[in-house]
Amino acid sequence: MKAKVHVFLKPGVLDVQGKAVEGALNGLSTVQGWANVSHVRVGKVLEFDVAATTAEEAKAQVKDMCDKLLANTVIESYTIEVA
């Protein structure tokens, strides 16, 4: 089964990379016009195969992976897709 995990900083946690990207997009506006961009967040996507008999079983395992390694729940939240 294919698993896809999205990891983002939690709302309220300052995303300095997002801020920098937002500043660059806004800054380019004199040339090209993206002053309309705001609230940029930079996150991660992890894709992998997981051997499991049901989607529920796979999802439970991926959740365990997220809690133990793939995300730091002090500062990050995650979403899981299994297909």
Binding site for another protein (CB under 8 A): 13-14, 16-17, 20, 68-70, 72, 74-75
Q: Residue 39 or 68: which CB sits closer to another protein?
A: 68
- What CA–CA distance (Å, rounded) separates 8 from 33? 27
What is the closest distance, in whole angstroms, from the C-beta atom of residue 13 to another protein in the complex?
A: 7
What is the closest distance, in whole angstroms, from the C-beta atom of residue 32 to another protein in the complex?
A: 23
What is the closest distance, in whole angstroms, from the C-beta atom of residue 21 to another protein in the complex?
A: 11
In residues, how long is the chain? 83
Classify 17 in phi/psi space as left (phi over 0), alpha (psi -120 to 50) or beta: alpha
